[in-house]
Structure 1
Amino acid sequence: MSMILPLDGLRFAFGTLSVLPVKVSRWDREAARGGMLCAPVVGLVLGTAAGGVGLVLLVLGASPLLAAVASVAAPAALTRGLHLDGLADTADGLGSGKPAEDALRIMKQSDIGPFGVITLVLVLLAQVAALAQVYGESWARGVVAAVVSATAARLALTLAARAEVPAARPEGLGAAVAGVVPVRGAAVAVAAVTLGAAGTGALFGAYDAVRAALAVLAALAVAELVLRHCTRRFGGVTGDVFGGLAETAATTTLVVLTFAP
């Protein structure tokens, strides 16, 4: 295995999952495997940016609500709304109730239907409300919540790209990354992110450590349910499904992080 593969994987991850100016030099399955294994690293960077924006606003005297709005907007801006668009398209496809071929065609359309609009509004409201509550507790907990949720969101993509999860179409990002991640590699990524979240939560106490770990695991569990439903309905995953999974995981993480002891 080439020694530059880790770098190729990082380039693939940041080049496909963010708008950061990273040149993707390889698009083969090997690079895609490294990229999807590195997806949580992208989440860590985007989450840090989101938490940083929220912290700056709080220092300048803004309310926790405004800081939460900015923290939700930052990852959306740094991905050009990629995951939010995928969430809306997936909701439209699932909500259509049509056979897989017709549902996939609906998802490819440029407009957003009623199911997509409703889902976007509810998800964004839930994310902002949860973050505002955590920022209200302390700026540090709010920053940690932004980082953990963004990282867990991209970890859900690593799991969705694991072996034996098929692509719904023969083309597109979904087809490029479907089934590239070995199950063992996905398990290692889950363990690393969960332990990292627990370690960060431990800065605030034992309960926060457990809550952070449970938030990651709950996010993955809910994303897995959505993934299985989408693979049954569409015959596999698409780039839109990946986006929907990321937003589902992020929202679940934030909601769990609001639970009181």
Structure 2
Amino acid sequence: MTDSAPASAAPPPPEAGAQLADGIRFAFGTLTVLPARIVRWDRPAARTGMLCAPLAGFVVGSLAAALGTALLLSGTGPALAAVATVAVPAALTRGLHLDGLADTADGLGSAKPAAVALRIMKQSDIGPFGVIVLLLTLGAQTAALFELYGRGWQDGAVAALTAATTARAAMTLASRAGIPSARPDGLGAAVASSVPVRRALTVAASAALGCASLALTLGWPAALHTAGAALLALLVAQLLLHHCVRRFGGVTGDVYGALAETTATAVLVALTFG
């Protein structure tokens, strides 16, 4: 997710069915590179779009899991399967979430006042904090998936799906009412405080339960473990969100990217235990 947003006049409010379709287009158009022409750029579309964010994550996770599983079953081994699974979400977001993670790390690591930190985050280069966090994050994701694929293709596939879906659920929670935008414009401002708190919590809980249901093929203990990993990762994301709001005065597109990558990493690491 970036801080750039197309300028357009707000059309009249759509019907319920059209609003859902607009929200799905918004979710896929802003959170992935998959074909989705955004036709509305207003608060209702942003609200529905962020409620549909876990759906975009599920699709991304499905594609990542499919490639990783195909490689594993073809005999390449868990290492290459893990690398491919990590690469797919990066490719399907053009690396924007990873870029947001690096920029957020640079902003937080600068220890500068909010205005200066936000300027640092907008710069095109990546500082030392960003490089270190990127390397550690990608390394942790790959190592965790290597371990999980080593247990079996189902373990790796469920992990990939859970990580991608929960990562976008963290974005839904970060869009809830009461979380301000750090800037007056940009995509962060478009979605900040757009989702009612109760609906954000419902979507996040539903995403965790949905991921747990996918793990039922591995047994009830695995399903409970998966739900716990998703909820723990969402808690980690909330801690990061709270810190970013305190440091920057609100959220930005970079913060959303950082939340997604942090959540995905926390899910994968948590799933390696047990």
TM-score (norm 2): 0.94
Alignment correspondent of 1:2? 15
Alignment correspondent of 2:212? 198
Alignment correspondent of 1:160? 174
Among residues 96, 118, 125, which one is paired with 1:111 in the alignment? Answer: 125
Q: CA RMSD in A?
A: 0.8
Alignment correspondent of 2:95? 81
Distance 2:121 2:235 in 1: 24
Counterpart code for 2:15: S
Structure 1 runs (4+) deviating above 3 angstroms are none
| Gap regions ≥5 residues in structure 2 | 1-13
Identity of aligned residues (%): 62
1:103-252 equivalences under 5 Å are 103-252=117-266
Distance 2:266 2:40 in 1: 33
Alignment correspondent of 1:19? 33
Aligned with 2:49: secondary structure?
helix
Counterpart code for 1:53: L
Aligned with 1:203: secondary structure?
helix
Distance 1:22 1:194 in 2: 25
> Contact 2:97/2:258 (CA < 8 Å) preserved in 1?
yes
Aligned with 1:51: secondary structure?
helix
- Deviation, structure 1 residue 38: 0.2
TM-score (norm 1): 0.98
1:208-252: CA deviation from partner (whole Å, max 9, x where unpaired): 011100111011100000000000000000000000000000000
Counterpart code for 1:140: Q
Distance 2:88 2:204 in 1: 25
Distance 1:126 1:162 in 2: 29
Distance 2:164 2:260 in 1: 8
Counterpart code for 2:156: G
Alignment correspondent of 1:30? 44
Distance 1:27 1:60 in 2: 44
1:189-220: CA deviation from partner (whole Å, max 9, x where unpaired): 02211211221222211210111001110111
Aligned with 1:19: secondary structure?
coil
- Deviation, structure 1 residue 187: 1.6
Distance 1:120 1:215 in 2: 22
Distance 1:163 1:179 in 2: 4
Counterpart code for 1:2: E
1:69-96: CA deviation from partner (whole Å, max 9, x where unpaired): 0000000000000100000000000000
> Contact 2:73/2:153 (CA < 8 Å) preserved in 1?
no
- Deviation, structure 1 residue 59: 2.2
Count of residues in Structure 1 that have an aligned counterpart in Structure 2: 260
Distance 2:86 2:193 in 1: 30
